[in-house]
């Protein structure tokens, strides 16, 4: 287990120092997919400074793909947004094609003066925010900030580390969480009864498997997963994993929708892990295609970045 980010939170105020996020790379982990995220809230003279970050590391092949997003929001004492900034070292899936200046201006133009807790109501989908990852970061930040306000607090932190490993018979994942002095550990095991069949984008379309979720030593779910097409795979996984979200809400005493969690991304990341063995050339582009399909869930339109990838590369 690598040194956790919580120790960095104890040593410094991440609202002003984001270095440790950008200095963590694939060498710190042995997993195929690593995703860590967190939120830190500290009181300031004019309100509360909310810093939220998310880093995903995909080790598909010899060159890892890293996506790092760090956003800082100043929320006035009345709960409205005074301003939002993105760390310019942030790096999305399209590298320089990710226009953070434009995203920052867009967020400030729309969110300034609005209640931060209403972020998801104002931007109900990643497409409206023009960036999937930024939407995830700000959704988590607004959710955690709202949770603190309900408790009458102006400071607090939470962080989460997810590691996903492929196995010959399926997928194994470990998710560790630290929030407001409490900890939890969840393991997710997807074991195949028969080899999965994949689509043209290499995503599983037919599964005959069993999914087990264990949270802090207690079995939350142990069910068969049998599907006929990709939308059913994605839907069934999300349905099963939503039970974990209810367990987390009860554990941390969260009212309403809990968005400061990796649970919402579990299904997509596990499907990427299942698909990795069928990829050959153009791995990064294939990952982009998969992310596009996963984000759409087989129905919705994807965001600008993933649409650009989709238009750039068509699998043969």
The residues spanned by each domain of the chain are 5-157, 166-312
Q: How many residues does the chain have?
A: 316
Strand-pair category, 156-167 with 81-86:
unpaired
Q: What integer pLDDT is reported at residue 6 of this predicted model?
A: 39
Over the stretch 247-282, which tens digit does the pLDDT of each residue have?
Answer: 888 888 887 778 888 887 888 888 888 877 655 444
Query: For residue 192, how far is the Cα from the chain centroid?
Result: 25
Mean confidence (pLDDT) of the chain = 77
Per the CB < 8 A criterion, the answer to whether 34 and 57 are in contact is yes
Per the CB < 8 A criterion, the answer to whether 226 and 204 are in contact is no
| 21: three-class secondary structure by DSSP | helix
Nearest alpha carbon to residue 236 among 208, 259, 194, 199: 208
Owner of token pair 């919705």? 300
Q: How far is CA 152 from CA 147, 148, 149, 156, 313, in A?
A: 9, 6, 5, 11, 50
Rg (CA), the chain: 19
Q: Which residue has the higher pLDDT, 289 or 315?
A: 289
One DSSP character per residue, 287-302 reads HHHHHHHHHHTTTSPP
Q: What integer pLDDT is reported at residue 78 of this predicted model?
A: 95
Nearest alpha carbon to residue 298 among 209, 241, 232: 232
Question: What single DSSP character describes residue 311?
Answer: H
Query: For residue 153, how far is the Cα from the chain centroid?
Result: 25
Give dist(CA 82, CA 113) in Å, integer. Answer: 6
Give dist(CA 204, CA 231) in Å, integer. Answer: 10
Give dist(CA 18, CA 308) in Å, integer. Answer: 29
pTM of the predicted model, to two decimals?
0.79
Q: What integer pLDDT is reported at residue 98 of this predicted model?
A: 66
Over the stretch 140-149, which tens digit does the pLDDT of each residue have?
Answer: 999 999 999 9
Neighbours of 183 (CB within 10 A): 12
Over the stretch 165-219, which tens digit does the pLDDT of each residue have?
Answer: 888 888 899 999 888 888 889 999 999 998 888 777 677 778 899 999 999 999 9
């Amino acid at each position: 287990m690598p040194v956790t980010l919580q120790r960095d939170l104890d040593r410094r105020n991440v609202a002003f120092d984001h270095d440790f996020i950008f200095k963590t790379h694939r060498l710190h982990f042995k997993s195929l997919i690593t995703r860590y995220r967190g939120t830190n809230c500290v009181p300031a003279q004019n309100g509360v400074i909310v810093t939220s970050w998310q880093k995903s590391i995909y080790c598909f092949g010899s060159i890892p793909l890293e996506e790092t997003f760090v956003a800082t929001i100043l929320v006035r004492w009345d709960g409205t947004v005074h301003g939002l900034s993105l760390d310019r070292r942030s790096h999305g899936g399209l590298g320089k094609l990710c226009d953070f200046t434009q995203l920052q201006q867009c967020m400030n133009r729309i969110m300034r003066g609005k209640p931060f807790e209403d972020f998801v109501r104002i931007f109900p989908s990643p497409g409206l925010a023009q960036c999937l990852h930024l939407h995830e970061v700000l959704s988590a930040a607004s959710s955690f900030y709202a949770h603190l306000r309900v408790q009458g607090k102006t400071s607090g932190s939470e962080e989460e580390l997810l590691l996903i490993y492929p196995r010959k018979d399926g997928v194994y994942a470990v998710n560790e969480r630290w929030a407001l002095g409490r900890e939890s550990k969840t393991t997710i095991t997807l074991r195949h009864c028969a080899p999965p069949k994949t689509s043209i984008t290499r995503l599983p379309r037919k599964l005959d498997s069993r999914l087990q979720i264990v949270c802090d030593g207690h079995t939350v779910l142990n069910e068969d997963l049998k599907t006929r097409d990709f939308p059913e795979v994605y839907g069934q996984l999300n349905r099963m994993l939503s039970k974990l979200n209810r367990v987390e809400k009860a554990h941390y005493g969260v009212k309403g929708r809990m968005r400061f969690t990796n649970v919402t991304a579990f299904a997509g990341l596990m499907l990427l892990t299942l698909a990795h063995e069928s990829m050959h050339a153009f791995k990064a582009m294939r990952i982009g295609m998969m992310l596009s399909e996963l984000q759409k869930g087989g129905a919705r339109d994807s965001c600008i970045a993933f649409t650009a990838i989709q238009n750039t590369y068509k699998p043969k």
